[in-house]
Amino acid sequence: MLMPATLPRRLLAEFLGAMLLVTAVVGSGIMATTLSPHDGGLQLLENSTATVFALAVLILILGPVSGAHFNPVVTVAAWWTGRREPGALTGGDTVAYIAVQTVGAITGSVLANAMFGVSQGLSVKDRSDTHLWLGETIATAGLLLLIFALVRTGRGALAAPAVAAYIGAAYWFTSSTSFANPAITIGRAFTDTFAGISPGSVPGFVAAQIIGALIGLSLAAVLYPRPQSAAAFQTETPVPVAAVP
């Protein structure tokens, strides 16, 4: 059994998780457009498949260290629901988690661009339509509900396949292809490729994600009113979250 992780170890895990997740999303998107330049559906299939596998593996590797949040809305939700419990995330921990998740996500885009020889720069892909915001709201609400359902029913060990499966499905059943993660959204603004999003579209996506998180938390509170210890979000039980498309 692992010793409880110190804050620096947890922050490193969150940085690496966000970075490698965005690297997988952006890198597979670049590869997909290279291999299947005239087939958008196949590009999305290739991109989503790589993301699902990468997410599941990252949760398995880093979940026992930090809880594998990789996502500011998950971190804030974990802090808020467990703030009165011993051993839970503190406000300072929460701010630090969000900071390293965001920096990690940006680094992931830069790394993917470098691996594939793509020019560094901001995306020009506009994603500002209201139907995409609705897609992000639905995607994030479902993600938060899934995570809290796992934590509050003692099934955290299923996080890797369950969260990865949800993200893989949400790639296809949401109009936005399920970013569902403010840090990942910001990170993807730093690549002008298949997976990019223009900086001007980021605020709308993040607002929709926050609304979705509140909906997901509210549903979880009604459906699963007796949570287990908030420590499940930290070191022992790998219950994460990220998302992308």
C-alpha span between 234 and 168 (Å, rounded): 24
Query: What pLDDT does 173 receive?
Result: 97
Mean per-residue pLDDT over the chain, rounded = 92
Looking at the predicted structure, is the pLDDT value of residue 139 above 50? yes
Mean pLDDT of 26-46: 97
Does the predicted TM-score (pTM) go above 0.85? yes
Amino acid at 44: L
Looking at the predicted structure, is the pLDDT value of residue 5 above 80? yes
Reading the block at residue 43, the tokens are: 């590009």
Query: What pLDDT does 2 receive?
Result: 60
C-alpha span between 215 and 94 (Å, rounded): 20
Looking at the predicted structure, is the pLDDT value of residue 183 above 70? yes
In this prediction, residue 242 has a pLDDT band, given cuts at 50, 70 and 90, of very low
Looking at the predicted structure, is the pLDDT value of residue 201 above 90? yes
Looking at the predicted structure, is the pLDDT value of residue 230 above 60? no
Question: Do 186 and 105 meet the contact criterion of CB atoms below 8 Å apart?
Answer: yes
pLDDT per residue over 95-138, tens digit each? 999 999 999 999 999 999 999 999 999 999 999 999 999 999 99
Query: What pLDDT does 207 receive?
Result: 98
Looking at the predicted structure, is the pLDDT value of residue 150 above 50? yes
Domains and CATH numbers, the chain: 7-233 (1.20.1080.10)
In this prediction, residue 85 has a pLDDT band, given cuts at 50, 70 and 90, of confident
Across 82-95, b (16+ Cβ under 10 Å) vs e yields beeeeebbeeebbe
Mean pLDDT of 27-41: 96
Mean pLDDT of 184-194: 98
| Sign of the alpha-carbon dihedral angle for 175, 182, 40, 45 | negative
Query: What pLDDT does 3 receive?
Result: 62
Mean pLDDT of 36-59: 97
DSSP string, 214-238: HHHHHHHHHH--S---GGGGTTSS-
- Total residue count of the chain as it appears in this document: 245
Mean pLDDT of 206-222: 97
**Angle at the Cα of 111 from the Cα atoms of 36 and 136, rounded to 5 degrees:** 65
Query: What pLDDT does 87 receive?
Result: 77
